[in-house]
């Protein structure tokens, strides 16, 4: 059980660090980042970067 708690804590810390890296830390802490929201944001970011590469 202790190993599970340690792993859960590590996953949460990693999730928060990644959200911060993308500039989404406030939304992550507010619980606004569902899996669907994360995927939508990553898709938009990918589209923006692909368009910038073409320009």
Segments making up each domain of the chain, as ranges: 2-54
User: What is the mean predicted confidence (pLDDT) over 24-39?
Assistant: 95
> Is 1 a residue whose pLDDT tops 90?
no
pLDDT, tens digit (0-9, with 9 covering 90-100), for 14-28: 999 999 999 999 999
pLDDT mean over 8-13: 94
CA distances from 21 to 6, 7, 14 (A): 22, 21, 10
Residue 4: its pLDDT value, please? Answer: 87
């Amino acid at each position: 059980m202790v190993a599970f708690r340690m792993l859960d804590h590590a996953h949460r810390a990693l999730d928060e660090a990644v959200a911060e890296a993308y500039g989404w830390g406030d939304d992550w802490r507010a619980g606004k980042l569902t899996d669907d929201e994360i995927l939508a944001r990553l898709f938009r970011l990918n589209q923006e970067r692909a368009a910038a590469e073409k320009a």
